[in-house]
A and B are shown apart, each in its own frame.
Chain A
Amino acid sequence: MNNLLNVRDLRHTYVKGRIQTHAVRGVSFEVARGETIALVGESGCGKSSTARLIAGLETATSGSVSVAGHDIADIATDKRLRRLVQMVFQHSDQALDRSWNVERIVAEPLLRMDGLRLSAARTRTVAALNSVGLGDDFLSRRPRELSGGQSQRVAIARALISQPELVVLDEPTASLDQSVRTRVLDLLKRIQEERNVGYVFISHDLASVRRIADRVAVMYLGRIVEIGRTAEIFANPRHPYTQGLLRSEPPIDPAVKWEITPMKGETPSASAIPDGCAFRGRCPIADEACATVDPLLLPVGSTRQLACIHRSVDGPI
């Protein structure tokens, strides 16, 4: 158990009236120190729910999450352990309290966890701001005076000031302009090299995943369907869903004629998941067997796992 993060058979079901939404249906993976794992998938695949469960913002229906040997339930309730896991949110403009100034926002974890006063936290606040490329002239600014990239930097500074060991990044670049994304990702990468933190990177944007992640877990309807090293997955996707997903990204070179057969259909609702393989309705290689067998995530080779009865067993990687 040397892993920083261990997620074991995590399940989460939201109940609203008579409707049960199975957001997460048995997710297991681990993250080492200094490693980035990306959870990729389309809306409704359960990646954001998984992120909130890992950060301890919600309690799972079943399964376990442990960070550095501590159960997430303890981390969420114990002030001394709270610092272990922090999170950066998708909407940078909503993630900062608009009635606070940058200094208080960034220092909030120190005020709450360590009981420091704002003035006593000043040195560390400035250091945290500097580490994300902002000067101390930002201390007195209000969130509305920041650009999208700047607010996300402030959010990152807040997440890092308590020296966390795991940071959950929930689509940290989705609300940013293209030209700012690269910089924020590079910043995250640099910080990881300096501090050896582990990242759980949630995204639907494949380009940013390729840029930052060491490993990728592709999710569909609350399950991981394929997990492996980033380079391998991008070079040779095995699961039909992963293949369809990668093909759907438009190329950025206008000289390349983009001509594909798009993946058919749409993701079914998480409250009415089909029997057998959940993907079979959209899968180009589905047959009768897929309707009866719920595929398990099985190892294929030494670094990859796959959940497809047709691709897991036969063929080389």
Chain B
Amino acid sequence: MSSIHLATRAASRKRFRLTVVRQNSALITGIVLLFALVLLGAFGPLFLPSPNVTAPGQSLMAPDSEHLFGTDRYGRDVLARSVAAIRLDLMLAVGVAIMAMALGSILGAVAGYIGGWVDDVVMRITDALLAFPGFVLALMIVAFLGHEIIFVAIGVTIGSTPHFVRLARARALSERELDYIPASKLAGANRGRVIFGHILPNAISAPLIQTTVTAGWAILDIAGLSFLGIGIQPPTAEWGTMIAEGYSDILTGKWWPALFPGLLMLLAVLSFQLIGDGLSRRNSL
């Protein structure tokens, strides 16, 4: 069957582009959306007022041509703040996802390959962590460590790592049985070489895909922590803090300070989910 596979692959390369578009509108949409957000986050602030300038006379003004998203209770421009938050939130979320992926995959590959007590220890800890929802875990860690951005990042990273450990370990267990592992032992490779040179590169595809989905969740976790007041603190422009500051105004009919950052956050999460979904579908084809 492998030669069918081979030939199919070779001949389908020509149609690759077309197929990707047709089969993977989710992936394309996700990428376009994320790219637009990144552009907006990178260049938007150049054309917008500073996110932290208050104007006491202009508080809670409804969206109009001057303030497209209106202003909050301190008279700050909601658009400028929402856009400024893109940088912080995206960078933090992507960083967290990558850290969790790296940490989790290495732990999983080592545990799966070496087995024995190493596996037992790693997996018991992972299971224990998995018993809590990632968000609750992050919440406990941040509450314990403090309200710095770095601690928020650490908390969310630890909360997201267990999934990666499981994914990488499952793959490492099946890779371990393939003949290229003894072959590389015979070639003189030691354990470290086998794990980092062979097991990890072959076990990494599933965790890589999971990374994008995790980045989406990380945005929600970071914003959630900030919303509860134990994550990123005001006046830093961040979607969670902005929603926290704005949600009480909804009761008085002033919906814009909370809605627009929420919408941007939704788009960001959606783009990561679409990419993750598209990638995993392509991977399984």
Contact = CB atoms under 8 A, between A and B. Distances in A.
Establish whether A and B are touching in the complex (CB under 8 Å): yes
Contacts of B5: 144
Nearest to A177: B3
A145 B5 CA distance: 10
Chain A interface, >50% SS class: mixed
Interface string A238-281: 00000000000000000000000000000000000000000000
B199 to A, nearest CB: 10
A108 interface: yes
Chain B interface, >50% SS class: helix
A229 interface: no
A144 B3 CA distance: 9
B281 interface: no
B180 interface: yes
B66 interface: no
B186 A86 contact: yes
With most chain B CB atoms within 10 A of its CB, the pick from A91, A108, A113, A148 is: A108
Contact of B182 (A89, A109, A113, A148): A89
Interface in A80-118: 82-83, 85-87, 89-91, 93-99, 108-109, 111-113
A55 B179 contact: no
Interface in B182-225: 182-190, 193, 198, 201-202
B193 A144 contact: no
Contact of A113 (B3, B178, B180, B188): B188
A82 B183 CA distance: 12
Contacts of A89: 179, 182-183
A56 B183 CA distance: 11
A160 B164 CA distance: 38
B9 to A, nearest CB: 8
Given A91-B179, A147-B3, A148-B2, A82 B184 contact: no
B186 A97 contact: no
Interface of A: 52, 55-57, 79, 82-83, 85-87, 89-91, 93-99, 108-109, 111-113, 144-145, 147-148, 155, 158-159, 162
Given A82-B186, A98-B202, A112-B189, 10 more contacts: A57-B182, A57-B186, A87-B186, A89-B179, A94-B180, A97-B184, A97-B201, A112-B190, A147-B6, A158-B187
